[in-house]
Amino acid sequence: MISQIDSEVFLGVVQELVGEEAIAIVKMLNEKYEATDEELSNKLDVRLNIIRKTLYKLYDNHLAIFRRIRDKNTGWFVYFWKLKPERISDLVRTKKKMVLQKLKERLDFERDHVFYQCENGCPRFIFEEALEISFQCPTCHAPLINISNTDIISVLESKVNILEQDLEQK
């Protein structure tokens, strides 16, 4: 069983990663130690393939595990599912590392390029792109001028530092 506060956090993460359809499944699994996909399907009145798809998404995100046994009568495998809310911190850490990598890539891109933009605020262009369009905005046809991206670099550096410090603490 997940505590009330942890449950809200867990449900929020599940909804973000897996989708709204997973909430009822997670709530049902939280009430029981483990359950089969067929039990969940019957109790929630949701098609079995949707239950299975959702359970595998939870499994892929390391938020649920299963054990399987062979049914002696049918010979088919029966899967018993249960939640692993304690794995949420590992998942969050992994996602933070991915975000950090993307931010670093963007920061490198911003540092390595010179940007041009028209005075009307249309999309920015790197030097090579601006050169190809003769330094004229393709949207409004105003001339493109060199713009500073120091504010963007500063924000990205700040976010990178915050994430790096956060990851170092844990």
SS3 (DSSP) at 33: coil
Residue 4 has pLDDT above 50, yes or no: no
Class of domain 4-83 (CATH, top level): mainly alpha
Using CA atoms, how far apart are residues 54 and 147, in angstroms rounded to an integer?
47
> In this predicted model, what pLDDT tens digit does every residue of 26-48 receive, in sequence order?
988 888 889 999 999 999 999 99
Q: Sheet holding 125-126: strands in order across?
A: 125-126, 115-117, 145-147
| Of the candidate ranges 26-30, 105-109, 143-147, the one whose mean pLDDT is the lowest | 26-30
Average pLDDT of the segment spanning 40-69: 93
According to DSSP, residue 121 is labeled -
Q: Where do the structural domains in the chain lie, given as residue ranges?
A: 4-83, 90-169
Yes or no: say if 119 and 142 are a contact pair by the CB < 8 Å rule. Answer: yes
In this predicted structure, what is the pLDDT of residue 170?
Answer: 62
Cα 1 to Cα 13, 17, 30, distances in angstroms: 17, 21, 6
Instruction: Supply the pTM of this predicted model.
Output: 0.65
Chain position carrying tokens 């009568």: 73
Burial of 158 (0-12, 13-18, 19+ CB in 10 A): exposed
Cα 77 to Cα 20, 36, 37, 43, distances in angstroms: 28, 11, 12, 20
Tokens of 22: 């997973």
Tokens of 118: 């028209």
